[in-house]
Amino acid sequence: MQLGEVVRFCESLWPAAGAEDWDVVGLVSGSLSQDIKKVMLTVDVTAEVVAEAKSQKVDLILSHHPFLLRGITNVYEESAKGSIIRELIRSDIALFTAHTNADSQATGTSVSLATALGIQELAPLATSETAFGIGVIGSIKTTLGDLALKLNEVLPATATGVRVAGDYAQEISKVALCAGAGDSYLQLALDSDADVYITSDLRHHPAQEILEQAKARSKHFGLIDISHWAAEYIWLEQAKRELASTGLEITICDLRTDVFDFLVNVPRGTNEN
């Protein structure tokens, strides 16, 4: 297929109209007339990911996170963006992004993670006029501790693992979930009457504030903070299935692009020799 055909197919799966206003999605680099035989799916575009694409002789990288989300004024080769753009162009590797327009689909990132966890009766957390919506709410019978253990089982391993606020034995019947950075939906998650909210990149003050609101309402409400990369990596398998009908060779980049490499959490006084 030519790149233009692949772009049109991707647009049919993840229409740009479904993206948030602030987002930047679609074709980043490449020629619409270039031939595409092999596609590599990834959450992030880093120097290591591009090197992996080159070693696999990939023609197109399809990334979840936008590479040029914030405006830049140059692409000189010693800059972070310029060095990668240089490698993509010189290696004849095209780059395409499907971000919140993929998040908001009924087969998107949040649905993919919720399905892996066994959450049922899924509905959008934040509705959309053009797509399914951002995040999900759904039903499951479990405890907060067991839900965290299940997350640890289905997510790829990261240094920071699964962080939980709440009582380990708390009974859970309704879950709100937003794969990726979802602290802007903390209030919506609490107001949805969910027992727990699963998302990534939680900050101290917003998280503490929502927990205090829950207490004021006499509501048992838990928070689970997971790796941003790991939460969205789950979706790549779904994207691969959706792209299968193109007949292209589709591969998933197995490099861990979570930004943290190790965690030090040894209780003081237990490592004295």
Residues 92 and 125 in one domain: no
Contact call for residues 64 and 99 (beta carbons, < 8 A): yes
Confidence category of residue 181, pLDDT binned at 50, 70, 90: very high
* In a shared domain, residues 45 and 144: no
Q: Are residues 43 and 86 in the same domain?
A: yes
Q: What is the pLDDT of residues 50-88, one digit of tens each?
A: 999 999 999 999 999 999 988 777 888 888 888 999 999
Q: For residues 67 and 53, what is the distance between their CA atoms, to the nearest angstrom?
A: 15
For residue 189, list its beta bridge partners: none
> Given a cut of 90, is residue 37 above it in pLDDT?
yes
Q: To the nearest whole number, what is the mean pLDDT of the chain?
A: 94
Let me know whether 145 and 156 are in one domain: yes
Q: What pTM does this model have?
A: 0.93
Q: Are strands 171-181 and 94-97 parallel, antiparallel or unpaired?
A: unpaired
What pLDDT shows up at residue 161?
Answer: 95
Quick check: 59 and 39 in contact, CB under 8 A? Answer: yes
Q: Does the residue 179 lie in any domain?
A: yes
- Identify the domain boundary among 102, 133, 151: 102
Rounded Cα gap, residues 62 and 40, in angstroms:
6
Of residues 74 and 145, more confidently modeled = 145
Which domain-ending residue is among 102, 124, 148?
A: 102
241 domain residue, yes or no: no
For residues 115 and 208, state if they share a domain.
yes
Contact 104, 132 (CB under 8 A): yes
Model confidence band, residue 156 (pLDDT cutoffs 50, 70, 90): very high
Phi and psi, residue 157, nearest 5°: -65, 140
83 and 65, same structural domain? yes
Res 227: pLDDT: 97
Higher pLDDT, 261 or 270: 261
Instruction: Give the end of a domain, one of 213, 228, 243.
Output: 228
Identify whether 262 is part of a domain: no
pLDDT band at 131 (very low <50, low <70, confident <90, very high): confident
In a domain, 156, yes or no: yes
Strand order in the sheet with 134-143: 120-126, 134-143, 171-181, 196-200, 222-226, 162-165
pLDDT, position 270: 61
The CATH number covering residue 208 comes to 3.40.1390.30
Residues 108, 98 within the same domain: no
Is there a domain that residue 248 lies in? no
Give the number of other Cβ atoms within 10 Å of residue 255's Cβ: 14
Beta strand 134-143 pairing with 171-181: antiparallel
Residue 260 confidence (pLDDT) above 70: yes
When divided into structural domains, the chain yields a total of 2
SS (H, E, C) 25-72: CEEEECCCCCECCEEEEECCCCHHHHHHHHHCCCCEEEECCCCCCCCC
Q: How confident is the model at residue 273 (pLDDT cuts 50, 70, 90)?
A: low
Q: Is residue 13 part of a domain?
A: yes
CA-based nearest residue to 45, from 53, 33, 37: 53
Tell whether 116 and 71 lie within a shared domain.
no
Q: In this structure, are 122 and 209 located in the same domain?
A: yes
Claim to verify: residue 114 and residue 203 sit in the same structural domain: yes
The rounded distance, in Å, linking the Cα atoms of 263 and 186 is 26
Residue of higher predicted confidence among 134 and 75 = 134
pLDDT at 272 over 60: no
CA 106 to chain centre: 15
What pLDDT is recorded for position 271? 57
- Shared-domain flag, residues 149 and 53: no
Q: Which domain holds residue 143?
A: 104-228
Residue 216 resides in a domain: yes
122 or 77, higher pLDDT: 122
pLDDT, tens digit, 9 for 90 and up, residues 182-234: 999 999 999 999 999 999 999 999 999 999 999 999 999 999 999 999 999 99
In the prediction, which pLDDT does 129 show? 77
Please give the pLDDT value at position 267. Answer: 76
On the question of pLDDT at 39 being above 70, the answer is yes
The pLDDT > 90 percentage for the chain reads 89
Please check whether residues 98 and 205 belong to one and the same domain.
Answer: no
The residue-averaged pLDDT of 136-141 equals 98
**80 assigned to some structural domain:** yes
Q: Over 70: is that where the pLDDT of 33 sits?
A: yes
